[in-house]
């Protein structure tokens, strides 16, 4: 997948000089970006209906930078259901940036940019859970939760296979609420996001016990056949090459989660 | 209006006294501000949640600020709307409420708002809106998409404070023992701490001596510190007084424990940083908590002795040579319990701005 995308970038870079006209978007001059709030470190803000205010985070800055390189202004709207970000068919946004990992199934419904982030899943335990789980076998005995339709959910179902019924809320806020409300003993979610959550409010969470390597790659999603993809790929490659992407990662996520112990 | 203060929501009913006489009194609401590491409540005129929240958004008065009372709400944050239904107060504030990125400030301001609103009778929780929208992920550790109760912002975690990292003791030496003995003779260490081993206790005592002597605060016994140590006399109280008492010297970042005319110990401490100044004046220890929880800043404060509002002596892992706290007096781990035993309720604490 990645090799194909890289080849597309190279062709696009040759075919589209920097001075090319601004790409076609739903609203001229505007790149309408779909987010799915919140995800600590990646995208947080205020949501009013679908309008997003005060958006912050790695993916917000990433989309802003990409839009700028395309000669566009980024605007954001919230899409509360993750599955709608990767559905087949038309949308009312130009691109979706929401920790969407590239999978063959999703790639049949949407086009993906070249990836901008490689992630693993992490396991964050509720305060007070004893003994602290340090293995997949120990996790199996807990009430686990993950966001529905995500890699974390698939890991719970297919890899950990818990003996107690897991919960799969649609919304990230509900996922965290379930953890606070003691309906979950541990949650499985993007390791970098969990690390940011724990760092910002260490008293609210138990330990981030480790990661389950998935090596999934996050990419920007477009409608099938979107003319934006090649231009966005070129922009992503540019901000990766000049160090902007690395700076954003450091600013918003901080520590490298690759140092977390691997859960086996 | 004189501030009527109490610390933490749970204790307020006990600390704020009713009017002495039965004379008619204008209705008031309680507004949650911050002092030191804790929430304190002050009265404002009014009888409903709108008055309370407006009082909060207006911030502390000049008199209250002089007492070290603060707010983490950004100045001039507008109130866009407020309503109460079924015990849930929906409070819509301007976007300034979510400005800034310091986690401790963001969480503290939500705690202030929730504690202010839920002190009003019949308000059990708060649904927070910012510019008409739901803040998602902006306030670390707070799920603002659900109604927030006082308990959700005050409850300490069900886990003990983290234990300090164990340090391998360094081998003893006669030179270190001699320095420690001299520091103990002068009151900067306890006699039972003289073991000849260098380490943070000794460094802290050297820093305390350097602070008292007006030397550079590096914790190293160089030529200047050595000379000063050889000729120094035990410090004396900076203010006249009698009996057992404590002086906090803000300019030197020291705490003196005094019996009569004798200074029994001089402790290296760190008081309120600029903007969070520890209030000068004469106070008395009024509350002791072996394990205190900072509601607004969500941190454990072991061996806390409160002497004015939310301002206390307490243990803290980091006691730098300069003022660094939210207004409290940070005490190093090895001295915190000892000071706790030396400051029973009623102990006079004099906080002095200029001691020289």
For B150-170, the DSSP string reads HHHHHPPPSSPPPPPPP-PPP
Across the range B191-213, mean pLDDT stands at: 96
Q: Which helix (H) or strand (E) holds A14?
A: helix A2-15
For chain B, percent helix, then strand, then coil, each to nearest 5?
Answer: 25, 30, 45
SS3 state at B175: helix
**Measured between CB atoms, does A253 come within 8 Å of chain B?**
no
Across the range A215-238, mean pLDDT stands at: 96
Residue B279 has pLDDT above 50, yes or no: yes
For B3-19, the DSSP string reads ----BSHHHHHHHSPPP
Cis amide prior to B33 (ω within 30 degrees): no
Q: Which residue has the higher pLDDT, B327 or A2?
A: B327
ipTM over 0.90? The verdict is: no
Which residues of chain A lie closer than 8 angstroms to B156, CB-CB? 203
**Measured between CB atoms, does A37 come within 8 Å of chain B?**
yes
Cβ–Cβ gap B98/A46 under 8 Å: yes
Across the range B75-92, mean pLDDT stands at: 97
pLDDT at A9: 41
Which residues of chain A lie closer than 8 angstroms to B130, CB-CB? 46, 53-54
Do the beta carbons of residue B180 and residue B193 sit within 8 Å? Answer: yes
Task: Write out pLDDT tens, residues B140-180.
Answer: 999 999 999 999 999 887 766 667 777 788 899 999 999 99
Tokens of B289: 């908590």
pLDDT at B24: 61
Task: Write out pLDDT tens, residues B98-151.
Answer: 999 899 999 999 999 999 999 999 999 999 999 999 999 999 999 999 999 999
pLDDT at A256: 81
Which residues of chain A lie closer than 8 angstroms to B95, CB-CB? 46, 53-54
Task: Give A223: exposed, middle or buried? Use CB within 10 Å, 0-12, 13-18, 19+.
Answer: buried
- Looking at B154-309, which runs of residues are DSSP E strands? 244-249, 254-259, 262-268, 281-284, 287-294, 299-308
Size of interface A-B (CB pairs under 8 A): 78
Instruction: Report the predicted TM-score, pTM, of the whole model to 2 decimal places.
Output: 0.87
Task: Write out pLDDT tens, residues B338-351.
Answer: 999 999 999 999 99
| Closest CA–CA distance from residue B158 to any residue of chain A (Å) | 6
Whose structure tokens read 């300069």? B322
Tokens of B44: 């404002």
| Closest CA–CA distance from residue A229 to any residue of chain B (Å) | 29
> pLDDT grade, residue A139 (50/70/90)?
very high
Q: How far apart are the first and last CA of chain A?
A: 27
Which residues of chain A lie closer than 8 angstroms to B131, CB-CB? 46, 48, 53
Which residues of chain B lie closer than 8 angstroms to A48, CB-CB? 131-134
């Amino acid at each position: 997948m990645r090799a194909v995308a890289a080849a597309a970038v190279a062709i696009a870079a040759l075919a589209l000089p920097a001075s090319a006209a601004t790409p076609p978007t739903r609203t001229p001059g505007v790149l309408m970006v779909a987010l799915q709030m919140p995800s600590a470190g990646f995208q947080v803000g205020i949501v009013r209906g679908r309008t997003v205010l005060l958006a912050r985070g790695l993916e917000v800055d990433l989309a802003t930078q990409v839009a700028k390189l395309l000669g566009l202004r980024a605007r954001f709207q919230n899409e509360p259901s993750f599955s709608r970000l990767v559905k087949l068919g038309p949308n009312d946004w130009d691109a979706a940036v929401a920790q969407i990992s590239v999978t063959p199934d999703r790639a049949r419904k949407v086009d993906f940019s070249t990836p901008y982030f490689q992630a693993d899943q992490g396991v964050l335990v509720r305060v007070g859970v004893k003994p602290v789980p340090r293995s997949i076998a120990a996790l199996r005995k807990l009430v686990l939760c993950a966001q529905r339709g995500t890699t974390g959910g698939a890991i719970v179902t297919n890899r950990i296979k818990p003996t107690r019924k897991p919960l799969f809320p649609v919304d990230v806020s509900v996922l965290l609420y379930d953890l606070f409300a003691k309906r979950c003993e541990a949650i499985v979610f993007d390791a970098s996001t969990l690390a940011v959550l724990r760092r910002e409010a260490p008293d609210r969470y138990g330990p981030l016990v480790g990661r389950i390597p998935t090596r999934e790659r996050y990419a920007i999603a477009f409608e099938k056949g979107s003319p934006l993809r090649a231009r966005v790929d070129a922009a992503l490659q540019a901000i990766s090459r000049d160090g902007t992407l690395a700076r954003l990662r450091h600013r918003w996520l901080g520590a490298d989660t690759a140092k977390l112990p691997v859960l086996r | 209006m004189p501030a009527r203060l109490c610390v933490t929501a749970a204790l307020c009913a006990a600390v704020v006294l009713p009017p002495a006489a039965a004379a008619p009194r204008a209705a008031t609401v309680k507004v949650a501000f911050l002092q030191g590491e804790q929430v304190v409540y002050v009265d404002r005129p009014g009888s409903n949640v709108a008055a309370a929240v407006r009082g909060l958004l207006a911030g502390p008065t000049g008199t209250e600020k002089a007492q070290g009372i603060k707010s983490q709400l950004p100045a001039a944050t507008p109130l866009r709307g407020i309503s109460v239904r079924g015990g849930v107060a929906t409070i819509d504030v301007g976007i300034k409420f979510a400005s800034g990125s310091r986690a401790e400030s963001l969480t503290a301001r939500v705690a202030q708002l929730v504690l202010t609103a839920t002190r009003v009778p019949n308000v059990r929780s708060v649904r927070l809106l910012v510019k008409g929208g739901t803040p998602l992920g902006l306030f670390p550790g707070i799920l603002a998409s659900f109604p927030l109760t006082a308990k959700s912002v005050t409850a300490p975690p069900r886990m003990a404070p983290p234990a300090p990292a164990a340090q391998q003791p360094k081998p003893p030496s006669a030179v270190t023992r001699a320095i420690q003995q001299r520091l103990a003779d002068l009151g900067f260490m306890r006699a039972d701490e003289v073991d000849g081993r260098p380490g943070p206790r000794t460094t802290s005592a050297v820093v305390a001596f350097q602070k008292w002597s007006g030397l550079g605060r590096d914790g190293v016994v160089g030529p200047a510190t050595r000379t000063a140590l050889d000729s120094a006399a035990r410090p004396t109280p900076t203010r006249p007084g009698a009996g057992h008492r404590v002086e906090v010297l803000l300019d030197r970042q020291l705490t003196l424990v005094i019996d009569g005319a004798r200074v029994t110990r001089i402790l290296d401490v760190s008081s309120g940083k600029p903007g969070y100044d520890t209030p000068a004046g004469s106070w008395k220890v009024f509350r002791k908590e072996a394990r205190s929880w900072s509601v607004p800043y969500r941190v454990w404060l072991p061996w806390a002795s409160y002497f004015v509002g939310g301002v206390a002596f307490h243990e803290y892992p980091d006691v730098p040579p300069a003022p660094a706290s939210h207004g409290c007096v940070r005490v190093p781990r090895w001295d915190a319990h000892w000071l706790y035993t030396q400051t029973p309720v009623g102990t006079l604490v004099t906080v002095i701005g200029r001691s020289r």
